[in-house]
Structure 1
Amino acid sequence: MSTAAPEPKANMGQPIPRYDAVAKVTGRAEYAADVPLANPAYAYLVTSAIAKGRVDSFDLDEARRVRGVIDIITHENMVKLKDAKLFSNGGYMSTTVQPLKSADIAHDGQIIAVVLAESFEAARDAAHRVKVSYSTMPPTASFDSQGTTAAGAKGQLAQFKEDPEVGDFAKGFDSAEVKVSAEYETPTQHHNPMELFATSCAWNGDQLTIYEPSQYVYGLKNGVAEQLGVDADKVRVINAYVGGAFGSKGSVTPRTAIIASLARRLNRPVKLVATRDQGFTIATYRAETRHQVKLGAGRDGKLLALRHDGHEISSRPDPYAVGGTKTTTRLYACPNVASMVSIVRADRNTPGFMRSPPEVPYLFALESAMDELAIELNMDPIELRRINDTTTEPIKGKPYTSRSLMACFDEAAKAFDWSKRNPTPRSMSDGDWLIGYGCATTCYPTQMAPAAARVRLQRDGRVRVQIAGHEIGNGAYTVIAQAAAERLGVPIENVSVMIGDSDLPPAPVAGGSNSTASTCSAVMKVCDQVRQRLLKAVMPEEGVINRAKETVGVGRTPVTDAAHGDQALDREKAFDALGVGVVEEYGEWKPEGAPLDSFHAMYAGHARLIGGPEFGDKIAYAFGAEFVEVRINRNTREIRVPRLVGAFACGHIMNPRTARSQLMGGLIWGMSSALLEATEIDPRNARYVNDNLADYLVPVNADVPSVEVILLSEQDDQVNPAGVKGLGELGNVGTNAAVCNAIFHATGQRIRKLPVRLEKLEI
């Protein structure tokens, strides 16, 4: 084994190379914009140069004179599309703002025209020649701008059902011997996946095929059908690979139905590849947040009171919020808890899911406050968390299905050499460099959703698995193949996997770190159906058949039976008994406690994720501990992070290689969210300033010399048949707090507003 392919521990699968590795490194992997289309027209978007107001008129004469221009579409000649609901309010859409519906402008960069041409170059040239006259109104940019409105998220948003509370916070806080009260801020951030936002649409009669990078092909299929007013069975989405998404491609953006409508209008395929800067406004982003955290504790460090109030920016029309208090109020033992989440409306495009949507901003606030409390108590921050560790969450008293938080801290602290830390701020240095150590808890809800799969087993042992999952860089092809191979007892090389196509059996959105748990549980169930048919053919005794239906642990030899001396099933004999050469089964799986309409919703493209704090009479989370070393130059204030160490416990690890890769990427992104990433907003015009990869800062290799990922062995048989806890979004939670905690240790200065730039340091 190697660092990239860690030796599997108990309850871990093998670290086999990625199923799609060769295709990706040789260029054979086909992304949405790569798909060849017959005689396509090329679309180029024209977006608004103002954030609030109206389009008075267009001057299109010069644009129309560009050779190759086919047509220019504005609100004046666009076919009207049907309205649709927001994804987070039970619909499909990333926003309810519908471009090209009227002359009204709701936010900067709104689509106001589409140029169609015979080539991309002609479309781009013409788009740049479109002249627009506006009537402008003063926009509201952010929290401190005039004109914002604020109201509680509860009651506005279907996905936000409560402001968690228990006990009497005011009384508990008043009686506490040690108190911390602080405010924290996180900025707007944009996903910036390598693959741009692309859409290609082609009609064949009344059948529409969409090629688009999507984290939810069934949601896209049904959402576009709703907007176009056509039967969803007439729409197919094909999306074999996604070149990064991080949440930005999880819901339906307005561009898709527009391009589909124009393709129908032209009676020829239309291809759109939006530009990088357009991606900042035609898709979603992480909203900026503000937090007030109050902690009260006894001298022994035990929490007596916790209050977390969060405020989030959203657009005028859409009540979007992530509401991370559902996690922060349940993380530690505390008898008196209160919380409140408010939505603040501004003239901006609607935010959306971005990797670890609630936890990244909300745990930054809580884990920073916990570090501040440790300082007030003169206590090691790890010990403060140990004192407040709990096996039941405080709001409703539900037990965790498993919780290995302190085991993660112990492993990570040992690997990091935390014991060598001098706890006094500004006490460690190396020449001109001040050295700081910081740590933080990471956690992410274990979620899953209904899924279906089709599995085909041939007499020669070859297997084909079909499920409309999504390969967004997470290793979906690989772990699905592993689940089938292990369940059916065949070599991984015998398994072929088909995903990323809405004609395949439905799978949920690739978000909320639910994909592996959901898709693998469904695939395992259908593999069991295949086994049952084979076992029944050669061993028809009722007891044997019943045992064949039982769930077996992943990694064990599945095609054996205790009643027959653990002898492997003779596959060829079973096929002979059946008189067939192929066995194929289709099956549906849903997690325990899923709503009654789960399967209907699954086919309609509505995700029914359950888990986390809402997991029946239990609570389900994956946990980890993250440690950071920072070095800050006394003279230049340059900030460096030479080491990142994280230890994580996530139930059954399907593949340590792909798991390590995801967690490493998460740690790097978490560091980036602390020091680099912020979308700058012009407060006068409510427009994004650094809408490009030259000015929007992201880390490169030189920024991350050492990243160590430790995978702990953890068994959790309560979460799902696969025993999997999602980990894709776990790695970047808490890292921003760990960085700021390390900066305080190095300098004695507490930074509560992200990102931390050298001009904020006073050393």
Structure 2
Amino acid sequence: MPDGTQTMIGQPALRIDGRAKLTGRARYASDEVVPNPAHAFLVTSSIARGRIRGFHLDQARAVPGVLDILTHENVGGEAEKPKPMAGGDTTSTLESDRVWHDGQIIAVVVADSFEAAREAAHKVRVDYEAERPSATFGSPGAEEEVRKAGEHKDYHVGDAEAAFAAAPFKVDARYGTPTQHHNPIELFTTTCVWNGSKLTVYEPSQFVYGLRGNLAQQLHIEPGDIHVISRYVGGAFGSRGGITARTAWIAIAARRLGRPVRLVPTRDQGFTIVTYRAETRHHIQLGATSDGRLTALRHEGWEVTSRPSQYNVSGTETTARVYACPNILTKVNIVHADRNTPGFMRAPPETPYMFPLEVAMDELAVALGMDPVELRRVNDTMRDPATGLEYSSRSLMECYDQAGARFGWKSRDPAPRSMRDGDWLVGWGCASAAYPANIGPAAVRVTLTPEGRARVQIAAHDIGTGAYTVLAITAAERLGLPIEHVTVELGGSELPAAGLAAGSSHTAGICNAVAKACEEIRQKLALAAVVTNDGALSGQDASALVLREGALRSPAGAKEDLRAALSRVTGGVLEVYAENIPQGLPRESIGKAYAGQMSMSRGHSRQDATTYTFGAQFVEVRVHSRTGEVRVPRAVGAFAAGTIVNPLTAHSQCIGGMIWGIGAALHEATEIDPNAARYVNDNLSEYLIPVNADVPQVEAILVPERDDRVNPLGIKGLGEIGIVGMNAAVCNAVWHATGRRIRELPIRIEDLL
């Protein structure tokens, strides 16, 4: 691009969809108007392992308004299991009589009203052949295996075991993180409408093409016969990244009735019909010299998954490369239990795996008598220790310096229990945040009119992160228009394909695609303007012309208004279709996106450089000396993520992640009955999350960073990193306040009494 066009990217902008959301005009999936819908209600299993011997449906069918009841006995052969986005196989639902986990979908009741469907569902009686389930780590019958080779990689650099044995300073400890569930405000709804052989699906999704392609495979129909619509998503966090079993059965129910069918599951059903964050265990060994330089890093992890699944997040991809270390050994194991299959949940690998590393680093700092920030500074590196590649950019210590200065870290007394305010023990803690700078392929259609208005069409997804707005900003800047003159259409499988809105990859992927399309428009207009025999720009350098303020302009000030410039190329509007394939991905990745297959250039898998976003978290906690109650009066985080397209929404993302991280440390855990393998706090009254009283002061700093290698616009993802490291920072602050080292989350009052 010619210089001088950067005017809007990086400037705060209000959400262009904000008014629609505030006034209720934004249509979420279950808000879409369909004619005369029937209502579905799910029947879920009350055992965690076994088989269904039979159903008693007479009482359910007798409820007025009941239209149909789907079970494996009448529809089992009409759909395949959904293909998971990672991890091979998964559990089934109505495909057979097999029960894999508690809360599994085993029947669907359809009625004229939601109330009738619910009443009938509660009257379905099921005979089971139950078996003893395995709930979690250490349960009888749980099966452990070394994770199979796949997307993720174990690292073996140098000789970590020998280096650890010889190290004068060591940490050797075990850590744990609990099962956690997404609990977005919008429930996991599905509405299906058939028009002959054509199916329309309204469902909140992070990948409409993925949903379409997977559903077509399940139902044995052509993907082109399915239209998926997901204009707005009321929270996702990974829970809507892949298709779940419910969609196919609602489509089958609608086909059987010849009538639209809408499903709005209950909150507790959301704990078992979709994915969640897997429970993990970790063994960390760190060895260091007396000056704090790491000589050995060994990280072994264990993750719970379902019986048939190989799903794992394998966060050692990140922990192996955060700090300089010549000897690294990582390993990940999976444990099969009678649970539903886990999946992506915001910062999927880094949230559970950075926790043990960052607590262990704090423990090492204590053993060395060294400031925790300085320990990280000593082990900072501009080369990826796992591969030897350079980082495209790395501003970890800049983040520590800015956040530490704002927090007042230099005033910290390092001794535990040394800071006090009346009955409250005061503790300060810190931790590093890291997340790979990923990017996916995307296609887009951009239309420019003579009146100076543009339309951006792309099957991207706004999951609450501000996608509508960053796309409008990018197009407005590159086309020289006001943001309000750009219309953005998202969330439909009739639009050009974008990849999965996950892995903090979406803004980079879709904005680079839009910028590419707008550059093609600029080039067409510029070339036509300079080759003409008349006009203000005749004979100028086409590469130097820019679109700004409704005109095509030269560096010297000559200009031609947009209508005249367009008239040289087209008699009306100018429409450009563009595809952006990130570095490291093959040409066929766009075709894969249209086919609903996920492809992503990952920050730790590139061949030319390692690309990561870094950050630093600082937390103050107060622990009541007599009750053990923990409060977090303030937190400061700093994050360096290359080009920030919209600082307003980026800041919001970081703060939201930090609050979630506080919750991960002190509140969040899905409790499971070890005998029945059943979640027992599957509701918002007992599944604890932070409220306003828990987070009085949270501050996020966006550290300026330029990265010309990560992608053309220099964008690194920000959606995930805000949560990373916060759980460890809280734990480290609790140690500083109390002298008690907590290695298993969440921190309970009983841990501190």
TM-score, normalising length: structure 2 = 0.96
Match of residue 199 from structure 1: 190
Deviation at 1:86, TM superposition (A): 2.4
Does structure 1 conserve the Cα–Cα contact (< 8 Å) formed by 2:550 and 2:561?
no
Deviation at 1:28, TM superposition (A): 0.7
Q: Which moved more, 1:641-650 or 1:532-541?
A: 532-541
Paired amino acid for 2:638: A
Cα 1:466–1:547 change in 2 (3 A) is farther
Q: 1:407 aligns with which of 385, 398, 405?
A: 398
1:391 is the counterpart of 2:382: yes
Paired amino acid for 1:661: S
1:101 is the counterpart of 2:95: yes
1:315 is the counterpart of 2:315: no
Q: 1:86 aligns with which of 84, 87, 96?
A: 84
Match of residue 562 from structure 2: 571
Paired amino acid for 1:39: N
Q: 2:18 aligns with which of 12, 17, 21?
A: 21
Deviation at 1:439, TM superposition (A): 0.3
CA distance in 2, matches of 1:711, 1:358: 23
Aligned partner of residue 723 in structure 2, secondary structure: coil
Match of residue 378 from structure 1: 369
Aligned partner of residue 156 in structure 2, secondary structure: coil
Q: 2:506 aligns with which of 497, 515, 518?
A: 515
CA distance in 1, matches of 2:231, 2:296: 49
Does structure 1 conserve the Cα–Cα contact (< 8 Å) formed by 2:456 and 2:487?
yes
Cα 1:25–1:580 change in 2 (3 A) is same
User: Runs of 5+ in structure 2 lacking a partner?
Assistant: 1-5
Match of residue 659 from structure 1: 650
Paired amino acid for 1:315: S
1:44 is the counterpart of 2:44: no
CA distance in 2, matches of 1:566, 1:317: 66
Deviation at 1:566, TM superposition (A): 5.4
Match of residue 63 from structure 1: 60
Paired amino acid for 1:145: S
Paired amino acid for 1:149: E
Does structure 2 conserve the Cα–Cα contact (< 8 Å) formed by 1:426 and 1:746?
yes
Aligned partner of residue 78 in structure 1, secondary structure: helix
1:72 is the counterpart of 2:66: no
Aligned partner of residue 585 in structure 1, secondary structure: strand
1:120-199 to structure 2, matched below 5 A, reads 120-155=114-149, 158-160=150-152, 162-199=153-190
Paired amino acid for 2:91: V
Cα 1:70–1:362 change in 2 (3 A) is same
Aligned partner of residue 67 in structure 1, secondary structure: coil
Match of residue 111 from structure 1: 105
Aligned length, in residue pairs: 744
Paired amino acid for 1:14: Q
Match of residue 201 from structure 2: 210
Match of residue 290 from structure 2: 299
CA distance in 2, matches of 1:342, 1:308: 11
CA distance in 2, matches of 1:79, 1:336: 52
Runs of 4+ in 1 over 6 A off after TM superposition: 541-547, 549-552, 555-559
Does structure 1 conserve the Cα–Cα contact (< 8 Å) formed by 2:545 and 2:553?
no
1:645 is the counterpart of 2:636: yes
Paired amino acid for 2:131: M
Paired amino acid for 2:601: I
CA distance in 2, matches of 1:77, 1:760: 52
Match of residue 6 from structure 1: none
CA distance in 2, matches of 1:582, 1:294: 63
Among the aligned pairs, what percent are the same residue? 56
Deviation at 1:96, TM superposition (A): 2.6
Match of residue 718 from structure 1: 709
Q: Deviations over 1:74-101 (max 9, x none)?
A: 11111521345321157xxxx6322111
Does structure 2 conserve the Cα–Cα contact (< 8 Å) formed by 1:237 and 1:502?
yes
Cα 1:637–1:15 change in 2 (3 A) is same
Cα 1:550–1:388 change in 2 (3 A) is farther
Q: Deviations over 1:563-598 (max 9, x none)?
A: x52545531221232351211111101111112421
Does structure 2 conserve the Cα–Cα contact (< 8 Å) formed by 1:644 and 1:706?
yes
Match of residue 287 from structure 1: 278
Q: 2:679 aligns with which of 671, 680, 688?
A: 688
Aligned partner of residue 274 in structure 1, secondary structure: coil
1:220 is the counterpart of 2:211: yes
Deviation at 1:71, TM superposition (A): 1.2
Does structure 2 conserve the Cα–Cα contact (< 8 Å) formed by 1:560 and 1:566?
no
CA distance in 2, matches of 1:751, 1:566: 65
Match of residue 707 from structure 1: 698
Does structure 1 conserve the Cα–Cα contact (< 8 Å) formed by 2:176 and 2:744?
yes
CA distance in 2, matches of 1:70, 1:550: 67
CA distance in 1, matches of 2:346, 2:648: 20
Does structure 2 conserve the Cα–Cα contact (< 8 Å) formed by 1:548 and 1:561?
no
Does structure 2 conserve the Cα–Cα contact (< 8 Å) formed by 1:16 and 1:655?
yes
Does structure 1 conserve the Cα–Cα contact (< 8 Å) formed by 2:529 and 2:538?
no
1:149-548 to structure 2, matched below 5 A, reads 149-155=143-149, 158-160=150-152, 162-540=153-531
Cα 1:567–1:665 change in 2 (3 A) is farther
Aligned partner of residue 448 in structure 1, secondary structure: coil
Paired amino acid for 1:159: E
Does structure 2 conserve the Cα–Cα contact (< 8 Å) formed by 1:216 and 1:510?
yes
Deviation at 1:558, TM superposition (A): 11
Deviation at 1:165, TM superposition (A): 1.9
Does structure 2 conserve the Cα–Cα contact (< 8 Å) formed by 1:215 and 1:250?
yes
CA distance in 2, matches of 1:437, 1:668: 17
Aligned partner of residue 71 in structure 1, secondary structure: strand
Match of residue 614 from structure 2: 623
Does structure 2 conserve the Cα–Cα contact (< 8 Å) formed by 1:46 and 1:112?
yes
Cα 1:558–1:421 change in 2 (3 A) is farther
Aligned partner of residue 356 in structure 2, secondary structure: helix
CA distance in 2, matches of 1:473, 1:85: 26
Paired amino acid for 2:427: G
Cα 1:362–1:761 change in 2 (3 A) is same
CA distance in 1, matches of 2:482, 2:374: 46
Does structure 1 conserve the Cα–Cα contact (< 8 Å) formed by 2:641 and 2:705?
yes
Match of residue 3 from structure 1: none
Does structure 1 conserve the Cα–Cα contact (< 8 Å) formed by 2:190 and 2:264?
yes
Q: Which moved more, 1:526-535 or 1:449-458?
A: 526-535
Paired amino acid for 1:41: A
Paired amino acid for 1:67: P
Match of residue 610 from structure 1: 601
Cα 1:335–1:567 change in 2 (3 A) is farther
What's the Cα RMSD here?
2.0
Paired amino acid for 1:18: R
Q: Deviations over 1:318-374 (max 9, x none)?
A: 100000001000110000000100111111000000000000000001000000000
Q: Which moved more, 1:525-534 or 1:743-752?
A: 525-534
1:736 is the counterpart of 2:710: no
Aligned partner of residue 284 in structure 2, secondary structure: strand
CA distance in 1, matches of 2:454, 2:601: 30
Aligned partner of residue 568 in structure 2, secondary structure: helix
Q: Deviations over 1:475-525 (max 9, x none)?
A: 000000000000001000100000000100001111000010000000010
Aligned partner of residue 659 in structure 1, secondary structure: helix
Q: Deviations over 1:137-188 (max 9, x none)?
A: 0000000101111112133xx322x201210112211221100000000000
Paired amino acid for 2:151: Q
TM-score, normalising length: structure 1 = 0.95
Aligned partner of residue 578 in structure 1, secondary structure: coil
Paired amino acid for 2:128: Y
CA distance in 2, matches of 1:506, 1:133: 45
CA distance in 2, matches of 1:415, 1:579: 55
Q: Which moved more, 1:98-107 or 1:339-348?
A: 98-107
Aligned partner of residue 521 in structure 2, secondary structure: helix
Cα 1:556–1:672 change in 2 (3 A) is farther
Q: Deviations over 1:5-42 (max 9, x none)?
A: xxxx9996111111111011111111000111101111
Aligned partner of residue 731 in structure 1, secondary structure: helix
CA distance in 1, matches of 2:156, 2:545: 38
